[in-house]
């Protein structure tokens, strides 16, 4: 019997319309009732899907059906459910069985053909003995499919100038499926598989169990769990419960008020909890939070694993899940079943009312105990997914929100943990509730969320959520529980966050008169404060101009009345700080935010009448609207920019000016450096890098090191610090993350535990904000320019008495993961990438103790800082870090950022804007990036693959070629300056040289030995450096050019080995950092 169902990917909202088809095929007419039952279950998960039936399918029927469904589904999911009872077992060649054309015998159907027809993304369910054979064959055929497609791509489109349209045409001939991993490429690796048992196992043949036990667990989990529970010895306390009684359990699965609905609700909460506590965060999000059907299948798969393992069968899945059949939460499930079955006879026979399970109340108590626990480092609370399920219940909702408020009050790490488990759609839906008693908790929780994750502005505006917070701001007595402490302040903070740097939010605020309403609220609140009320609602823009000119503000008696506050406004007009000037300019312009009047209250009408009466009846001489002080101020202010511009322009053209002479000296210096580099590169293979020109001792082992292409500077990084040393002047700069901005500080106040409305709870972990809107909070540690003292090393960096700050939450510390020099030909800038995906641009000052942080932002918005699948290479390659990877293209001023995301993001550094996102085409992290002068760049991945991209093409067609000759993570990669050759190396020291015009196979390949800790490849000279116990210089053909000997100075055996290497861009100089806390520069 073959059952195939197709399911499109569903959003988090189960009510979204689904246009997918859901076919059901079977080969036995008498099984129609069972198939309809399975269809009904799928209809419960996707009620808006359409279905088709195919009786006794032949191979041609299966092909026609699958290709038709894939064509209609486009890029959505197709589910294939195979029930192999009554037909031969899968073959070792990866084949299942269908009818022949004459219905006289079974014939094999290859999984390879099924993959071709089904395409991707797809879900496969195999309920048969030896089902693991199908899973293994699927992986083999998936690799074969992708190799064939890559071979066609590399053969016909690996040339750099090849267009993406031709590649897509080639791929369309190889596979009828749409793309999921790039233009024209079917990614079979992303397909999901569920199998009933391993390759060498048979399904149980127990007369008390259904023959299709695996299918029953997946489609009717609650009834199957009840039936299995009655067969266990633990159910002897309720011996009178039979299978017939189980079938009569009252209620519907979707009605939580009934016994069946409550059991299904408890089952969902328990399986979610088990999954969240055992799976990696990114895997939990993929399987349990992105698709309703996938989440339901995997919840039920956890039950199938528990039941089938009791009969010596091991269900398997792809992606694989860790064993969870012995998780402690299963005991809570058994208890809930026991309590339900114990009262079932009385409910059915005597008509007694159903007593609800105390499961959720007990779990809330357990969560409360966790919150009130000690301050020691503890694992996250396992009840968090259950708390979210309790939000669906009106009975326990208030208590759940209060406890959730306690939890997010622990800090940003707790907010991120709650968001990862799926709190967002729950609390967003609750904004539609009119219950006043929920407002304090909801406002408090949302203030914490927006302080950590500013992107929720989009969802709040789409769902009109800002109206809820405006009501909360105006309501001083929400129900029987008034706001406590700063809860109204939190509502105002949420409203301010909605419009902060978000044009759509600002437009919605203006359309809905949100700003005017807030001003009215402030005006009503200021009735008891005369000084505040006098300036709360200025009568006209002209009057506001008068304030700026230093004139006295009006009173409620009229615009010419006396005032005692004129001096303060005069001081404001004379302030020359940027903030004051910005406020003056905004006040001069008639802001549209004022909008129409929000209310025609008696107070406002009286004010208007009073003002008009004063204008008509006043006998005092009228003052001009624009005063002379405003004219003087505007002339002086608006003259400053043009004056500065003229001075800069004159300095650039005056050949005797200091600025011109400095620029000319840089130009001559750069010309000399490039000429010297050309001379050295011509004789590169004859040079020996065994002369130490500079060295210093560091506080920690450097993880990255870079040489300035033009200046005598070397920069190296360890932990979260970047050290910049001028090797000629001996000036050292320490670059560390600085204090955040004023707005971010305000956000952090909301994200930290400061609420007076909740009891003071202990803090767990740090309070770093890990979000695209906010950078980390650091203690102010100004960078220092210090003269290193001399010792046995020419340069000795003074140890700092201040401890390195701990960043992140849990055990995740902030660390530098990438280092580059930008605009080195002029006034250089240092770019550092960090493990939390932030990018910082520094400009060290030669004469100042305060280094300038030019800019800082998040390079990747969905960077997974808490991933358990962090990229880590072998112990022999500690330099291959996971985290944000950066590359710099000088000609176009472009920053390329990649890491543990499925795309590579390009940034325009000059405009500080994102250019585009380029799909990486891989499910693994990017470890290395390299860019050629013509804009082509290459990325090395953790799975050993190397992909070449041409940014001149559209983002979907940017990938030119994929190389899969490495089987280990990439350690080094270099697209050379000739724009034609590529050199790659992996952690096993396998080095390969490619001609990117024919990148499907390497031109040279050789091994650099074993225990390689670091490697550097020169961009223009034909050499590379490899660090083992000593530094060895190779030619690109694998010939050893130089190596250290035991009696030669710096190259002699040393205690430490090189942890990082980097060549000079033009010269043959080599910078090295060692794990014995030293750094050095070698020259030929």
Which of 874 and 431 is assigned the larger pLDDT?
Answer: 431
pLDDT score at 847? 59
pLDDT score at 675? 87
Q: Where are the beta strands (DSSP E) in 266-424?
A: 316-318
Distance CA 890, CA 1070 (A): 21
pLDDT score at 585? 42
Going by C-alpha positions, the residue among 257, 247, 227 that lies closest to residue 337 is 227
3-class SS of residue 774: strand
Band of pLDDT at residue 878, cut at 50, 70 and 90: very low
| b/e code 261-278 from CB counts within 10 Å (16+ = b) | bbbbbbbbbbbbbbbbbb
pTM: 0.55
pLDDT score at 200? 92
Which of 223 and 457 is assigned the larger pLDDT?
Answer: 223
Residue 174 predicted with pLDDT over 70: no
pLDDT score at 567? 43
Calculate the average pLDDT of the chain.
Answer: 74
Maximum Cα–Cα distance across the chain: 112
pLDDT score at 814? 85
pLDDT score at 832? 94
Distance CA 456, CA 449 (A): 8
Residue 591 predicted with pLDDT over 60: no
Band of pLDDT at residue 966, cut at 50, 70 and 90: very high
Alpha-carbon radius of gyration of the chain: 34
Distance CA 10, CA 627 (A): 64
Distance CA 744, CA 770 (A): 12
Residue 184 predicted with pLDDT over 50: no
pLDDT digits (tens, 9 = 90+) for 236-285: 556 677 888 888 888 888 888 899 999 999 999 999 999 999 999 899 99
Question: Which residues neighbour 1071 within 8 Å (Cβ) at sequence distance 6 or greater?
Answer: 705, 706, 707, 714, 716, 1061, 1062, 1063, 1064, 1079, 1080, 1081, 1082
Which of 186 and 64 is assigned the larger pLDDT?
Answer: 64
Distance CA 110, CA 449 (A): 50
pLDDT digits (tens, 9 = 90+) for 483-498: 455 677 888 888 888 8
pLDDT digits (tens, 9 = 90+) for 600-611: 443 443 334 434
Count Cβ atoms below 10 Å from residue 805 Cβ, excluding itself. Answer: 19
* % of residues, the chain, pLDDT over 90: 29
Asked whether the beta carbons of 866 and 800 are under 8 A apart, the reply is no
Band of pLDDT at residue 131, cut at 50, 70 and 90: very high
| b/e code 330-359 from CB counts within 10 Å (16+ = b) | bebbebbbebbbeebeebeeeeeebebbeb
Asked whether the beta carbons of 513 and 468 are under 8 A apart, the reply is no
Segment 290-309 shows an average pLDDT of 93
Asked whether the beta carbons of 854 and 871 are under 8 A apart, the reply is no
- Lowest-confidence segment of 89-93, 515-519, 921-925 by average pLDDT: 515-519
pLDDT digits (tens, 9 = 90+) for 801-857: 344 444 443 445 789 999 999 988 888 899 999 988 899 998 887 655 667 788 898
pLDDT score at 595? 40
Q: Where are the beta strands (DSSP E) in 757-815?
A: 785-786, 795-796
Segment 941-948 shows an average pLDDT of 93
pLDDT score at 865? 43
* % of residues, the chain, pLDDT over 70: 66
* Six token digits for residue 396: 């326990």
Most confident of 152-161, 636-645, 1048-1057: 152-161
Residue 751 predicted with pLDDT over 90: no
Count Cβ atoms below 10 Å from residue 579 Cβ, excluding itself. Answer: 9
Provide the residue ranges of all domains of the chain, joining segments of one domain with +: 1-203, 209-313+323-346, 525-642, 677-739+778-1083
pLDDT score at 20? 36
Residue 758 predicted with pLDDT over 70: no
Distance CA 329, CA 359 (A): 11
Segment 1042-1069 shows an average pLDDT of 69
Going by C-alpha positions, the residue among 759, 809, 751 that lies closest to residue 371 is 759
Q: Compute the residue count for the chain.
A: 1084
**CATH superfamily of the 677-739+778-1083 domain:** YVTN repeat-like/Quinoprotein amine dehydrogenase (2.130.10.10)
pLDDT score at 880? 41
pLDDT digits (tens, 9 = 90+) for 617-653: 444 445 555 556 655 555 554 544 443 444 444 444 5
Distance CA 669, CA 660 (A): 14
Segment 760-771 shows an average pLDDT of 31
């Amino acid at each position: 019997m073959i059952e195939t169902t197709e399911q499109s990917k569903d959003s988090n909202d189960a009510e979204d319309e689904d246009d997918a088809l859901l076919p059901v095929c079977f080969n036995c007419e008498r099984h129609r009732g069972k198939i309809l039952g399975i269809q009904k279950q799928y209809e419960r998960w996707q009620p808006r899907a359409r279905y088709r039936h195919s009786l006794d399918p032949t191979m041609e029927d299966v092909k026609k059906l699958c290709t038709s469904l894939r064509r209609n589904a486009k890029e959505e999911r197709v589910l294939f459910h195979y029930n192999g009872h009554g037909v031969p077992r899968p073959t070792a060649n990866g084949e299942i069985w269908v009818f022949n054309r004459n219905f006289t015998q079974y014939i094999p159907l290859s999984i390879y053909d099924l993959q071709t027809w089904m395409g991707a993304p797809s879900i496969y369910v195999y309920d048969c003995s030896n089902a693991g054979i199908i899973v293994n064959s699927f992986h083999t055929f998936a690799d074969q499919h992708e190799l064939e497609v890559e071979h066609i791509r590399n053969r016909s489109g690996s040339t750099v100038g090849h267009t993406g349209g031709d590649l897509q045409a080639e791929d369309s001939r190889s596979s009828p499926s749409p793309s999921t991993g790039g233009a024209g490429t079917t990614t079979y690796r992303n397909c999901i598989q569920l199998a009933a048992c391993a390759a060498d196992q048979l399904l149980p043949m127990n007369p008390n169990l259904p023959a299709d036990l695996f299918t029953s667990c997946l489609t009717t989990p609650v009834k199957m769990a009840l039936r299995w529970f009655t067969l266990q010895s633990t159910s002897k306390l309720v011996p009178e419960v039979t299978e017939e009684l189980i079938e009569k359990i009252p209620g519907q699965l979707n009605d939580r008020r009934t016994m069946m609905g409550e059991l299904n609700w408890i089952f969902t909460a328990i399986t979610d909890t088990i999954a969240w506590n055992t799976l990696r965060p990114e895997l939990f999000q993929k399987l349990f939070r992105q698709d309703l059907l996938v989440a339901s299948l995997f919840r039920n798969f956890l039950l199938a694993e528990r039941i089938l393992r009791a009969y010596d069968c091991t269900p398997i899945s792809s992606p694989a899940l860790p064993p969870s059949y012995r998780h402690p939460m299963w005991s809570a499930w058994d208890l809930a079943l026991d309590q339900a079955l114990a009262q079932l006879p009385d409910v059915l026979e005597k008509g007694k009312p159903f007593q609800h399970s105390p499961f959720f109340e007990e779990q809330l108590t357990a969560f409360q105990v966790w919150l009130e626990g000690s301050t020691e480092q503890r694992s996250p609370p396992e009840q968090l997914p259950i708390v979210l399920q309790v939000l669906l219940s009106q009975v326990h909702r208030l208590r759940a929100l209060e406890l959730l408020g306690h939890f997010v009050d622990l800090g940003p790490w707790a907010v991120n943990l709650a968001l990862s488990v799926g709190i967002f759609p729950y609390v967003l839906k609750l904004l539609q509730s009119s219950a006043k008693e929920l407002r304090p908790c909801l406002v408090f929780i949302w203030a914490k969320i927006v302080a950590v994750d500013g992107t929720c502005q989009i969802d709040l505006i789409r769902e009109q959520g800002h109206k809820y917070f405006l009501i909360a701001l105006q309501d001083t007595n929400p129900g029987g529980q008034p706001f406590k402490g700063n809860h109204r302040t939190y509502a105002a903070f949420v409203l301010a966050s909605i419009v902060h740097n978000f044009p759509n939010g600002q437009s919605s605020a203006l359309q809905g008169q949100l700003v005017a309403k807030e001003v009215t609220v402030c005006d009503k609140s200021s009735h008891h404060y005369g000084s505040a009320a006098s300036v709360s609602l200025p009568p006209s823009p002209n009057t506001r101009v008068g304030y700026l000119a230093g004139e006295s503000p009006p009173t409620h008696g009229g615009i010419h009345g006396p005032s005692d506050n004129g001096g303060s406004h005069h001081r404001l007009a004379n302030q020359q700080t940027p903030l004051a000037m910005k406020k003056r300019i905004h006040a001069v312009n008639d802001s549209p935010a004022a909008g129409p009047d929000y209310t025609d209250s008696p107070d406002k009408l009286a004010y208007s009448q009073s003002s008009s009466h004063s204008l008509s009846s006043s006998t005092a001489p009228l003052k001009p609207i624009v005063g002379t002080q405003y004219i003087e101020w505007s002339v002086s202010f608006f003259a400053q920019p043009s004056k500065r511009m003229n001075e800069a322009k004159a300095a650039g053209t005056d050949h005797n000016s200091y600025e011109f002479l400095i620029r000319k000296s840089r130009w001559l210096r750069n010309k000399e450096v490039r000429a010297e580099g050309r001379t050295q590169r011509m004789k590169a293979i004859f040079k020996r890098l065994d002369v130490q020109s500079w060295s210093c001792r560091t506080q920690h082992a450097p993880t990255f090191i870079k040489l300035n292409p033009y200046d005598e500077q070397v920069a190296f990084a360890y932990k979260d610090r970047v050290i910049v040393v001028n090797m000629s002047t001996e000036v050292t700069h320490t670059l560390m993350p600085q204090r955040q901005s004023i707005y971010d500080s305000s956000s952090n106040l909301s994200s930290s535990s400061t609420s007076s409305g909740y009891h003071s709870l202990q803090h767990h972990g740090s309070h770093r904000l890990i979000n695209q809107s906010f950078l980390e909070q650091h203690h102010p540690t100004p960078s220092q320019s210090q003269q290193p003292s001399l010792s046995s090393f020419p340069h000795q960096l003074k140890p700092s008495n201040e401890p390195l700050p701990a960043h992140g939450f849990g055990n995740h510390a902030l660390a530098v993961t990438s280092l580059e020099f930008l605009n080195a030909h002029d006034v250089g800038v240092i770019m550092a990438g960090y493990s939390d995906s932030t990018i910082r641009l520094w400009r060290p000052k030669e004469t100042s103790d305060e280094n300038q942080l030019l800019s800082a932002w998040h390079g990747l918005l969905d960077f997974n800082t808490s991933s358990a699948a962090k990229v880590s290479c072998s112990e022999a390659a500690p330099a291959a870090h996971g985290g944000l990877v950066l590359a710099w293209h000088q000609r176009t001023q472009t920053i390329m950022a990649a890491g543990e995301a499925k795309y590579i993001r390009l940034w325009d550094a000059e405009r500080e804007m994102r250019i585009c996102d380029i799909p990486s085409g891989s499910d693994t992290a990017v470890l290395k990036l390299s860019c050629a002068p013509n804009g082509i760049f290459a990325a090395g991945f953790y799975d050993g693959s190397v992909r070449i991209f041409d940014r001149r093409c559209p983002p979907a067609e940017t990938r030119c070629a994929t190389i899969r000759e490495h089987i280990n993570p990439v350690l080094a990669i270099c697209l050379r300056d000739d724009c034609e050759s590529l050199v790659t190396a992996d952690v096993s020291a396998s080095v390969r040289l490619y001609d990117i015009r024919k990148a499907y196979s390497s031109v040279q390949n050789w091994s650099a030995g074993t225990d390689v800790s670091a490697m550097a490849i020169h961009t223009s000279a034909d050499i590379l450096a490899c660090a083992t116990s000593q530094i060895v210089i190779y030619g690109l053909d694998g010939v050893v050019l130089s190596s250290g000997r035991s009696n030669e100075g710096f190259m002699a055996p040393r205690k430490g080995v090189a942890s990082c290497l980097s060549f000079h861009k033009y010269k043959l100089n080599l910078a090295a950092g060692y794990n014995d806390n030293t750094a050095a520069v070698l020259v030929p």
